[in-house]
């Protein structure tokens, strides 16, 4: 019997050169922030300083919005076909430089290279290709010609899929003829700034894409700017509510993609081994930093013990460590703040009476890490069953009948996604019909395609991203 350990297989970080300091990208130029202030961005897997990026203030945002307005003059006069060609060019350039982007994404955000390489980057390129295709076919998208772009769109994106969320936001906005001011998350600004180089390389007219970095205060300046015509936000429900309050009474469009606490329902007649895989993928993908993560496992009582046994065994084979190691399954938690939040909620779960299982893996000394975690013996009233943990923590609940499964699944303020596992087709349809969730996956989880609309029910937000529906988020009826 041999204990076979895999040797390190590190993706070289040399492919990407990280500058000591970055600037904003406004009006087609890389400009120093008028605030003269910067914030640090670190690698969450080592806590080492990667770079400094602008902490933009009111003057910076004014100048970004102004240039987006000027950009709109040029962008709106191009033919749809010309806009389409720019987007195709961006898509191709991203594909060409995808290794560089993947490494930078893993360094700055902590996600495993196998995910940034095999999921994030292919999806980013696919989104630009997809919306490039729509740009000159908008007349075919809805049976009306009275839809017009909003104009200048402010976009604020989260840290879990930094470049992919940028693609979800920028590609449809540009395809529909808007110009944008985009703010990446405070902890993961680097790939957005590298994307600015792509815009330059593609020869995109000045002002069409403006990228400004900063913290929450910068985001709030964008939201409250008088010349912004629409806000698209992805992030926490708490911030989403604040944004909606700020925009009340103003003629500004809004789409929100917020939190989730998705139920992954496993019926006793599911293909159990594949359901285990799907549940693992549903919660441990991207360290569980996924708004549509399958964070509540709903197990039919008759299979509970067998399923949990298989699940724990499978979790034990998850490899936690250096995000740049090609064999890493789970990387670093994105920030100290997030790690503290996860730790706090897990402690609460234990105090409430949940039974805790964590895998026995060695964690690196520096950086932010959390072991893959499973709670059993959880009641629907526990905070770990209600609050979004946004980490590698799975909570198990049980049910007796399909009716009860649906009731528990819908017993949440969120409604972003859900999963159903059974080999019986009619049961899939019966369940999916009754789930209040924007996306319902059947016998799979966390599958995305640019052509498929994504968005929430209830406090998970409104508006759809992706697909033909995603175009509507950037078009409004003109009188």
Partner 1 sequence: MKNIKTHGTSIEWSNVLEMVHESRIDSVGLNERVNSLATRSIKKDSKLEALNMIVSMCDLTTLEGEDTEGKISQMVAKAIKPNPLDNSVPSVAAVCVYPSLVHIAKEKVQHSNVKVAAVSSYFPSGQVPMESKLLDTKYAIDSGADEIDIVINRKAFLEGDYRKVYDEIVALKEVCQDVHLKTILEVGDLKTYENIRKASLISLAAGSDFIKTSTGKLSVGSSRHACYVMLKSVLDFESKIGIKAGIKVAGGIRDAKDAIRYLVMINEEMGSDWLSPELFRFGASSLLDDVLKQIKKLKTGAYQAGYYFPRG
Given a contact cutoff of 8 angstroms between Cβ atoms, the answer to whether 191 and 163 are in contact is yes
7-15, 30-38, 150-158, 286-294 -> range binding partner 1 (CB under 8 A): 7-15
Number of residues that bind partner 1 (CB under 8 A): 27
- Residue 448, Cα to own-chain centre: how many angstroms? 11
426 binds partner 1 (CB under 8 A): no
Which residue in the block uniquely carries the two structure tokens 């945002």? 61
CB of 112 to partner 1, least distance (A): 11
407 Cβ neighbours under 8 A, 6+ residues apart: none
Reference 291, options 247, 240, 243, 225; nearest CA is 240
Query: CB 346 → partner 1: shortest distance, Å?
Result: 26
Q: Is residue 2 near partner 1 by the rule CB under 8 A?
A: yes
- Cβ-based nearer residue to partner 1, 173 or 292: 292
Task: Tell me how far CA of residue 448 lies from CA of 115, 164, 324, in angstroms.
Answer: 13, 11, 24
Q: Does 3 bind partner 1 (CB under 8 A)?
A: yes
Contact indicator for 150, 230 with CB cutoff of 8 Å? yes
Any contact of residue 6 with partner 1 (CB under 8 A)? yes
Pair of tokens at residue 246: 């700020």
15 touches partner 1 by CB under 8 A: no
**302 lies in the site for partner 1, by CB under 8 A:** no
Give yes or no for residue 244 binding partner 1 (CB under 8 A): no
The four Cα atoms 376, 382, 384, 385 give a dihedral, to 10 degrees, of: 80
User: Of residues 40, 79, 274, 302, which one binds partner 1 by CB under 8 A?
Assistant: 274
Q: How far is the CB of 275 from partner 1 (least distance, A)?
A: 8
Q: Which of 11, 105, 291, 387 is catalytic?
A: 291
Report CA dihedral (269, 274, 280, 285) to the nearest 10 degrees: -130
Binder among 144, 317, 366, 379 for partner 1 (CB under 8 A):
317
Q: How far is the CB of 256 from partner 1 (least distance, A)?
A: 31
Binding mask 70-89 for partner 1 (x = CB under 8 A): --------------------
Tell me the per-residue interface mask from 325 to 364 with partner 1, x by CB under 8 A, - otherwise: -xx-------------------------------------
Which one of the listed residues 257, 387, 388, 465 is annotated catalytic?
257
Show contacts with partner 1 in window 20-49 (CB under 8 A). none
404-431 exposure pattern, b = at least 16 Cβ within 10 A, e = fewer:
ebbebbbbbebbbbbbbbbeeeebbeeb
By the 10 Å C-beta count (0-12 exposed, 13-18 middle, 19+ buried), 444 is classed as middle
Binding pattern to partner 1, positions 181-220, x when CB under 8 A? ----------------------------------------
Asked whether position 238 contacts partner 1 by CB under 8 A, the answer is no
CA dihedral 167, 171, 172, 175 (to 10 degrees): 180
278 or 349: CB nearest partner 1 = 278
| Residue in 431, 417, 434, 424 with CA at minimum distance from that of residue 270 | 424
Q: Confirm or reject binding of residue 449 to partner 1 (CB under 8 A).
A: no
Taking CB under 8 A as the criterion, the residue among 252, 262, 270, 393 binding partner 1 is 270
Between 58 and 269, whose beta carbon lies closer to partner 1? 269
Tokens coding 398: 């049980």
Tell me, residue by residue from 86 to 115, as one string, x for binding to partner 1 by CB under 8 A and - for no binding. ----------------------------x-
Q: Which of 1, 140, 143, 248 binds partner 1 (CB under 8 A)?
A: 1
> Would you call 291 a catalytic residue per the annotation?
yes
Q: Does 12 bind partner 1 (CB under 8 A)?
A: no
- Residues 428-447, one symbol each (x = binds partner 1 by CB under 8 A, - = not), give ---------------xx---
Tokens read off for 208: 């069409």
Binding of partner 1 at residue 451 (CB under 8 A)?
A: no
Measure the CA–CA gap between 123 and 443, rounded to whole angstroms. Answer: 21
> Judged by CB under 8 A, does residue 269 bind partner 1?
yes
**Where are the alpha helices (H) located in 76-184, listed in sequence order?**
80-96, 98-109, 113-115, 121-135, 162-175
Query: Counting contacts by CB under 8 A, is residue 9 touching partner 1?
Result: yes
- Tell me which of 74, 272, 361, 432 binds partner 1, using CB under 8 A: 272
Instruction: Identify the residue among 144, 238, 250, 271 touching partner 1 (CB under 8 A).
Output: 271
Backbone angles phi, psi at 270, to 5 degrees: -85, 160
CB-CB contact of 260 with 416 (8 Å): yes
CA count, 13 A, side-chain hemisphere, 123? 24
CA atoms within 13 A on the CB side of 298: 26
What SS3 state is found at 319?
coil
Contact residues for partner 1, defined by CB under 8 A = 1-9, 114, 118, 269-275, 277-278, 309, 317, 326-327, 423, 443-444
Active site positions, annotated: 257, 291
């Amino acid at each position: 019997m041999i204990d076979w350990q895999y040797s390190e297989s590190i993706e070289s970080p040399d492919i990407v050169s990280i500058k000591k300091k970055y600037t904003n990208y406004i009006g087609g130029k890389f400009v120093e922030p008028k605030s003269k202030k910067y914030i640090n961005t670190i690698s969450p897997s080592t806590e080492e300083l990667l770079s400094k990026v602008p902490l933009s203030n009111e003057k910076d945002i004014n100048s970004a919005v102004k240039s987006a307005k000027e950009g709109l003059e040029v962008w709106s006069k191009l033919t749809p076909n010309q806009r389409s060609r720019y987007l195709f060019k961006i898509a191709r350039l991203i594909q060409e430089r995808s290794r560089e982007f993947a490494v930078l994404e893993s360094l700055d955000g902590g996600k495993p290279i196998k995910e940034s390489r095999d999921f994030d980057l292919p999806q980013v390129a696919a989104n630009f290709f997809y919306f490039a295709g729509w740009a000159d076919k908008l007349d075919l998208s809805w049976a009306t010609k009275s839809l017009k772009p909003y104009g200048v769109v402010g976009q604020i994106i989260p840290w879990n899929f930094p470049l992919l969320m940028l693609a979800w936001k920028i590609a449809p906005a540009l395809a529909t003829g808007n110009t944008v001011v985009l703010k990446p998350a405070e902890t993961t600004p680097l790939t957005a700034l590298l994307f600015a180089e792509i815009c330059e390389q593609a020869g995109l007219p000045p002002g069409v894409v403006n990228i400004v970095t900063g913290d929450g205060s910068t985001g709030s300046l964008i939201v409250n700017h008088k010349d912004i015509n629409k806000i698209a936000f992805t992030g926490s429900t708490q911030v989403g509510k604040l944004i909606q309050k700020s925009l009340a009474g103003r003629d500004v469009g809004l789409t929100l993609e917020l939190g989730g606490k998705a139920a992954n329902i496993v019926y006793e007649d599911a293909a159990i081994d594949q359901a285990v895989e799907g549940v693992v993928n549903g919660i441990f993908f991207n360290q569980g930093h996924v708004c549509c993560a399958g964070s509540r496992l709903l197990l039919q009582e008759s299979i509970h013990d067998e399923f949990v046994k298989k699940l724990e065994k499978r979790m034990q084979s998850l490899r936690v460590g250096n995000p740049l190691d090609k064999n890493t399954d789970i990387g670093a938690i994105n920030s100290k703040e997030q790690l503290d939040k996860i730790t706090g909620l897990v402690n609460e779960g234990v105090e409430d009476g949940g039974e805790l299982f964590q895998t026995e893996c060695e964690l690196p000394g520096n950086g932010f890490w959390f072991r893959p975690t499973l709670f059993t013996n959880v009641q629907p009233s526990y905070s770990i069953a209600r609050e979004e943990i946004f980490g590698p923590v799975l909570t198990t609940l049980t049910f007796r009948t399909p009716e009860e499964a649906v009731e528990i699944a819908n017993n949440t303020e969120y409604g972003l996604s859900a999963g159903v596992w059974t080999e019986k087709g009619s049961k899939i349809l019966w369940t999916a019909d009754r789930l209040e969730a924007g996306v319902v996956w059947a016998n799979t989880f966390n599958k995305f395609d640019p052509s498929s609309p994504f968005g929430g029910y209830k406090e998970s937000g409104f508006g759809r991203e992706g697909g033909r529906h995603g175009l509507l988020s950037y078009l409004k009826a003109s009188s």
